[in-house]
Amino acid sequence: MVANLAKSYPLHLTVISNNIKLYRECVAPVVSSSRYIEWNAASFDSLLCQQHIVLIPAQHNEFTACKSDNRVVTALRAGLAVVADPVPSYAAHDDVIMLGDMEAGLRRYLSDPACRIADAARGQAKAMRADQDTRLLAQWQDVCGV
């Protein structure tokens, strides 16, 4: 996906993760302009704020089916545009993120910076309005059928 888009757009992928093996096997060989940074709580916020678009890949499985939306909300609170694979909890943000076809979503943001900036601003406002405790409680109540 990113390799195809890199032919049309100047891209640099920063992977902030705790799995360098996966980065070396799956990302580095296909994305020539990329770097890996070990996830660290002390530096994460400053690194995140240096980005423009956050990509959140996910495979559909039992784990992602019950995953919270914290990655999306973290990116939105930082004022960033988000492109994500579909995860049930991410659907609540589908009005301010590109959800589903990641290549199409990334292409849209790259070809239309005004759309990216508008979605990021609306997403940040939405995330800042959301009361974290209430939002998480509601998600747990949904899961537990309360």
Note the pTM of the prediction, 2 decimals: 0.84
| 46 and 56 inside one domain | no
Residue 82 and residue 46 share a domain: no
Q: Which residues of 135-145 are buried (b: 16+ CB within 10 A; e: fewer)?
A: beeebeeeeee
Domain end residue (candidates: 10, 31, 50):
50
Range of the domain at 133: 52-146
40 and 107 assigned to the same domain? no
CA distance 137 to 120: 25
Q: What is the pLDDT of residues 83-135, one digit of tens each?
A: 999 999 999 999 999 999 999 999 999 999 999 999 999 999 999 886 655 66
10-43 burial, b for 16+ CB within 10 Å, e for fewer?
ebebbbbeeeeeebeeebbeebeebebeeeeeee
Chain position carrying tokens 């360098």: 20
Question: How many domains are there within the chain?
Answer: 2
Tell me: do 45 and 56 sit in the same domain.
Answer: no
